[in-house]
């Protein structure tokens, strides 16, 4: 039994394993991780180590072989992971605008829409949001189609003014041949 333990003297091989691992990984921390993983694998496979084969290959050769195979397996796994990541990036949409800008913009449009006079808001809602045709929307509001079109035109003009940086204010009917504001 003592002879088998002497032939399986792993601590005596740690220096060799560390040097070889450093030459493979080129990094001290990665080399230590590699040695650890190789020793775990060697411990799990200790039943496959036989003193008869030890004469030809030796414990050192067996452990170095396990270390090398562990390194190759890790490198293959890393390449496969990198390939999966590359494919995910190819399939992913390009970076979009931040969501908060979209929410701010939507809030601005909603606020401008809510500032419209009720009759313009109702007309615009039925046509633009609900998708009704002019005749259907006019019938729903019990107004002539021409009146609906006029309300839509004024609502759209107010929203365009908001888009151009103007203040959205309720539009009033203008007096033909007169002035909207009293003379000073």
The two structure tokens encoding residue 57: 């290959």
Listed as ranges, residues in the chain with pLDDT below 70 are 1-8, 51-57, 95-98, 166-184
What's the CATH code of the domain at 72?
1.10.1740
Are 71 and 24 in contact by the 8 Å Cβ rule? The answer is: yes
6 domain-assigned:
yes
Question: Looking at the structure, do residues 122 and 140 belong to the same domain, yes or no?
Answer: yes
Domain of 127 in residue numbering reads as 100-163
From residue 124, give the alpha-carbon distance in Å to each of 77, 148, 164, 172.
Answer: 58, 9, 19, 17
Number of structural domains the chain divides into: 2
Question: Looking at the structure, do residues 116 and 51 belong to the same domain, yes or no?
Answer: no
Question: Looking at the structure, do residues 109 and 145 belong to the same domain, yes or no?
Answer: yes
Condensed to tens digits (0 to 9), the pLDDT of residues 134-170 reads 998 898 888 999 999 999 999 999 888 887 875 545 5
Are 109 and 102 in contact by the 8 Å Cβ rule? The answer is: no
What is the rounded distance in angstroms from the CA atom of residue 159 to the CA atom of residue 167? 9
* Residue 103 pLDDT: 84
* Residue 183 pLDDT: 54
20 domain-assigned:
yes
Question: Looking at the structure, do residues 78 and 112 belong to the same domain, yes or no?
Answer: no
Question: Looking at the structure, do residues 104 and 68 belong to the same domain, yes or no?
Answer: no
78 domain-assigned:
yes
Determine if the pTM surpasses 0.85.
no
């Amino acid at each position: 039994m003592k002879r088998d333990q002497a032939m399986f003297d792993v601590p005596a091989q740690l220096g060799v394993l560390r040097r070889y691992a450093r030459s493979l990984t080129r990094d001290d921390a990665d080399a230590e991780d590699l040695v650890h993983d190789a020793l775990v694998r060697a411990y799990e496979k200790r039943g496959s180590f036989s003193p008869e084969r030890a004469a030809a290959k030796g414990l050192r050769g067996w452990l170095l072989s396990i270390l090398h195979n562990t390194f190759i397996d890790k490198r293959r796994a890393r390449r496969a992971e990198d390939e999966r990541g590359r494919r995910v990036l190819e399939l992913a949409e390009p970076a979009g605008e931040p969501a908060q800008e979209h929410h701010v913009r939507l809030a601005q449009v909603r606020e401008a829409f809510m500032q419209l006079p009720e009759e313009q808001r109702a007309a615009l809602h039925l046509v633009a949001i609900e998708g009704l045709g002019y005749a259907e929307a006019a019938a729903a509001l019990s107004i002539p189609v021409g009146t609906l079109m006029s309300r839509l035109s004024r609502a759209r003009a107010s929203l365009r003014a908001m888009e151009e940086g103007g203040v959205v204010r309720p539009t009033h009917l203008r007096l033909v041949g007169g002035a909207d504001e009293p003379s000073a």
